[in-house]
């Protein structure tokens, strides 16, 4: 039987150093997360600020005023309403059109596949400045007044590609054997779609709709080019940079974050049950 000498005792600091070395990657990841959340924390914190002047950049004192009087900032709630309206409308249209296109791409044979794929990809790869300005060029040439409906058109445009990518991925992941099994079990084409295909694609369509809405709600550059005198929430914030930043903006920002977190966690919870 061999006797091994006991390992020399390590001092606490050198053990700590070892731990850091082994977990170097996680350490940097933690820093990255901190970096990600820093602005969010600042946004949240400064929603409780009572600023000295028009600009909410220096901490003065704690106050719940902004939360109590959310629509106190002039024009902000109007802009929110516009953003919501455009967002909902664009989401519905983009999700509908994009879903139909996805079904065609995944389930049917046709010529011009490569060209179609390219056409869908291009808007995602084009800088917003270029897309915004080319749409503006179209409207100017066509003598179309810029306003709510031009914003709507622009939003559907850039949401389409993302809807297609999302729904297509979900559809491709669907086992075609399931639909064959349904037909084997006496379901005709319509029943198969209603009872098998649709319920299984729905999560993808909902994810696409959610993505669409957030892209639309948060869009600035393309909207800026094509909005005329209509003001969406991001445009309001942009103007605020010059005009005056009320803490209510931070309130909205915080609410958006909490809503997003809530929806994401709820989706996680639902998926665990499946």
Partner 1 sequence: MTRRGTAYLLMLPALAWLAVFFLIPTVTLVSQSLQEGSLEEGYVVTGNVGIYADVLRDYAPQFLRSLLYAGIATVAALLIAYPLAYTIALKAGRWRNVLLVLVVAPFFTSFLVRTLAWKIILGDDNLVVDALRFVGVLGDDGRLLATPFAVICGLTYNFLPFMTLPLYASLEKLDGRLLEAANDLYAGAFTAFRKVTLPLSMPGVVGGTLLTFIPAAGDYVNVEFLGTPQTSMIGNVIQSRFLVVGDYPAAAALSVILMVTIVVMVMVYVRRAGTEELV
Partner 2 sequence: MASGEDLRLVDVTKRFGPMVAVDDLTLTIPPGSFFALLGPSGCGKTTTLRMIGGLERPSEGRIHLGEQDITDRKPYQRPVNTVFQSYALFPHLDIYENVAFGLRRRRAAEVAQKVTAALSMVELTELARRRPAQLSGGQQQRVALARALVNRPQLLLLDEPLGALDLKLRRQMQLELKRIQTEVGLTFVHVTHDQEEAMTMADTIAVMNQGKVEQLGGPTELYETPATVFVANFLGQSNLLPASVSGRSGDDLLLDVAGSRVVLPAGRSRSTAEQLFVGVRPEKLHVRAAGDATLPDGHNAVTGVVTDASFVGVSTQYVVRVPWGQDLTVFVQNLHSGDRFQPGASVMLHWAAANAFGLDGTEDPEAGRIIDPELVQ
Spatial neighbors of 99 by CB under 8 A, at least 6 apart, are 163, 167, 201, 205, 208
Is position 19 an interface residue for partner 1 (rule: CB under 8 A)? no
Establish if 114 lies at the interface with partner 1 (CB under 8 A). no
Q: Which of 129, 185, 261, 266 binds partner 2 (CB under 8 A)?
A: 185
How far lies 79's CA from each of 54, 75, 99, 273, in Å?
A: 19, 6, 29, 38
The entry of partner 2, partner 1, none that residue 154 binds, CB within 5 to 8 Å by partner kind: partner 1
Judged by CB under 8 A, does residue 2 bind partner 1? no
Q: How far is CA 54 from the centre of its chain?
A: 30
62 binds partner 1 (CB under 8 A): no
Q: In angstroms, how far is the first alpha carbon of the chain from the final one?
A: 55
Does 48 engage in binding with partner 1 (CB under 8 A)? no
| Residue 253 binding partner 1, by CB under 8 A | yes
Can you tell me which of 117, 134, 172, 191 binds partner 2, judged by CB under 8 A? 191
* Binding-site size, partner 2 (CB under 8 A): 18
Q: Are 78 and 248 in contact (CB under 8 A)?
A: no
Rule CB under 8 A: is residue 206 a binding residue for partner 2? no
Q: Pick out residues in 117-176 that bind partner 1 (CB under 8 A).
A: 117, 119-123, 125-131, 133-138, 140-141, 153-154, 156-157, 160, 164-165, 168
Helix intervals (H) in 47-186? 65-68, 76-107, 113-125, 128-141, 148-172, 176-184
């Amino acid at each position: 039987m061999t006797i091994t000498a006991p390992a020399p005792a390590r001092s606490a600091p050198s053990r700590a150093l070892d731990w850091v070395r082994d977990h170097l990657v996680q350490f940097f990841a933690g820093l990255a997360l901190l970096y990600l959340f820093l602005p969010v924390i600042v946004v949240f914190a400064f929603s409780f600020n009572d600023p000295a002047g028009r600009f909410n950049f220096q901490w003065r004192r704690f106050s719940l005023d902004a939360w109590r009087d959310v629509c106190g900032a002039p024009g902000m709630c109007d802009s929110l309403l516009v953003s919501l309206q455009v967002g909902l409308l664009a989401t519905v249209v983009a999700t509908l059109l994009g879903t139909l296109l996805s079904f065609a791409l995944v389930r049917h044979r046709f010529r011009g596949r490569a060209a179609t794929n390219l056409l869908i990809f291009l808007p995602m790869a084009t800088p917003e400045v270029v897309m915004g300005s080319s749409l503006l060029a179209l409207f100017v040439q066509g003598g179309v007044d810029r306003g709510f409906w031009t914003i709507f058109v622009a939003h559907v445009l850039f949401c389409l590609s993302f809807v297609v990518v999302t729904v297509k991925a979900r559809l491709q992941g669907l086992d075609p054997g399931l639909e064959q099994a349904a037909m084997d079990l006496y379901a005709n084409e319509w029943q198969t779609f209603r009872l098998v295909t649709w319920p299984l694609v729905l999560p993808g369509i909902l994810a696409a709709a959610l993505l669409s809405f957030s892209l639309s709600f948060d869009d600035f550059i393309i909207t800026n080019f094509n909005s005329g005198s209509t003001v969406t929430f991001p445009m309001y914030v942009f103007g605020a940079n010059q005009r005056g930043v009320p803490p209510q903006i931070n309130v909205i920002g915080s609410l958006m974050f909490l809503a997003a977190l809530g929806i994401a966690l709820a989706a996680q919870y639902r998926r665990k049950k499946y």
